[in-house]
Structure 1
Amino acid sequence: MAMNQIPGHNIYIGGIFCLKNKTALAKADITHVLSVLRLNPSEETFASFQHLSIDADDVEDENLLEHFPAAIKFIQAGLDSGGGLLVHCAMGKSRSATMCIAYMMHKQPGALTPQTALDIIRQSRPLCEPNEGFMRQLELYHEMGCPDDVTENPIYQRWLYHRDVEESVACGRAPELKSVRFEDELPVQPTPNDTGRSVEIKCRKCRRTLATTPFIIDHEKHERGPQRYAKQPTSTECAHVFLHPLKWMRPSLFPGSVQEGSDPDADSTYDEYSVDAPLSGRLACPNSGCGANIGKFAWQGMQCSCGGWVVPAIGLAKARVDIANRVNPAARGSGGPPAMGIRLPPGMRSSEVGESGSGRGNL
């Protein structure tokens, strides 16, 4: 199929064979060519063009996201030169469309989403259809705010961490300690929501603080999980609060990486990988004088009692922790109630936290 121009842009999308149509390239005044495929034609083909090649396969686990900034910069340079720009892959369907969508969102981050940008491209080239993995990467890029750099973005780093976990689990082992993101060790801490309400979770037995709002993971109820693990939800209420990995969890997640009797919260050096690291197991309270069983983890994921699927899953059992809803009057105005911790009765916990937006109401 011939190359097609994106409406409103001097950008063309095509497959590899459109490079042979010298008449069409000259008519469109193509000066820059972006190739997004693993096997490229010889460089002689691009002798009369400014050329950027990105080696990538059209498979869902290909990391195109890391190449968005370089591709966007090249596309913009081509347009600024006054000529036309061709973005091509093998068929002009998935990889090339993904790069064009990323560029369009970067130019209009508040106006376009991956789907709306794709709809614009399909006006002239209906066959464009990025694979599901690329669409997810575009959604992540949109969630980041379409930045000039993605590698230092926490959303991107967390996505890479999940990829490492998936690869390890596929090989039948737990991930390496060096690849796990312990969220409370990051230089930039996640911030609570701006409603003035937050959640604090403590061990019911010893009252040791285990987690707060920024480290709680939302999940959708009845979200479909892998068929081999799927089961009917046993309850509409969640039995666990799911968390991002935190440094106090090291002795449970990587039992061979922490010296006996050491403080898991203290700054120290840990082995990068423990051959005994289990795929799943129990979480123990980090208080050395307590050690109560407070939850469980499964790197391969598990289905919540509500039917939602969480991967990887690190969950605190609600029956073994106390959950307090806190209010910050500064965030709610001078007329708000005084700041205080509220220990909720068991029957009120999920509804209170659901109102706060912390995530537990959706767990």
Structure 2
Amino acid sequence: MPPEKGKRKEYLTVKDLQKLLDTCKLHLSEMDEVWPNIYIGNVAAAQNKVGLLKLGITHVLNAAHSKRGSKGNQSFYGNDFVYCGIPADDSTHFDLDVYFQPAADFIHRALKSTNGKVLVHCIMGLSRSSTLVLAYLMIYRQLTLKRALHKLIQKRAIYPNRNFLALLLDLDLQLKRKEKRKCQNCQIL
């Protein structure tokens, strides 16, 4: 069905999202709090257990599990942290979307736990980790992709790769369709 007269449908593209990301003027740092009690960081921040304890981090989500340069597992973190590892590649072919829901669920459980704070990291803290946090914000906080990106680039320099941006666009569309169906069902009742 075409949009109503005077109303224009907004369809975002990967290029639109990259332009939005390019507006970020922040410098990349080891770790930043991007949402209350959610931090995005690099592998150096993730391996600094003393620093994590000082910050009160309780959960670690490693989006580069088993990748070169990224050691980490539950035995590395011991009883001080709850660990979750996702063996993601920062590539144009990796289907990170299969991990959107499990990662969002882990972050959600972390935040619901007593004094829960979660670090989501990959090697640089730029692409994989930010993509998973964006998915969480979309799934659990009902933010659109554009709004979630706006929120994150105010707190951290991020740059999900083109493939991940396309997967997030798909998620955004799925969530909008689901919300629309839910609203239509409410009107019927």
Matches within 5 A, 1:128-277: 128-145=158-175
Equivalent pair of 2:108/2:140 in contact (CA under 8 Å): no
TM-score (norm 2): 0.70
Write out the 4+ residue segments of structure 1 that deviate beyond 3 Å after TM superposition: none
Counterpart of 1:345 in structure 2 is: none
Larger Rg computed on CA atoms: 1
**What is residue 4 of structure 1 aligned with on the other side?**
32
Contact 1:97/1:118, CA 8 A, preserved across alignment: no
Higher relative contact order (CA 8 A, sep 6+): 2
Q: Of the candidates 41, 49, 53, which is equivalent to residue 71 of structure 2?
A: 41
The answer for the alignment partner of 1:97 in structure 2 is 130
Distance 2:112 2:137 in 1: 15
Per the TM alignment, residue 2 of structure 1 is displaced from its structure 2 partner at its CA by 2.2
In the alignment, what sits opposite 1:251?
A: none
Correspondence for 1:199: none
Cα distance change on mapping 1:56 and 1:142 into 2, 3 Å: same
Counterpart of 2:45? 18
**Aligned partner (choices 38, 52, 55) of residue 28 of structure 1:** 55
Task: Give 1:117-132 correspondences, 5 Å limit.
Answer: 117-126=148-157, 128-132=158-162
Structure 1 length-normalised TM: 0.38
Give the structure 2 partner of residue 67 of structure 1.
99
Deviations 1:149-198 (A, max 9, x none): xxxx9xxxxxxxxxxxxxxxxxxxxxxxxxxxxxxxxxxxxxxxxxxxxx
In structure 2, runs of 5+ residues without a counterpart are 1-28, 179-189
Tell me which protein shows more helix as a share of its residues: 2
Equivalent pairs counted in the alignment come to: 144
**Mapped partners of 1:20, 1:30: distance in 2:** 12
Unaligned stretches of 5+ residues in structure 1: 148-152, 154-363
C-alpha deviations, 1:39-74, integer Å up to 9, x for none?
Answer: 141433221211111111101221011111111111
RMSD: 2.0
CA distance in 1, matches of 2:176, 2:58: 26
Answer 1 or 2: which has greater strand percent. 1
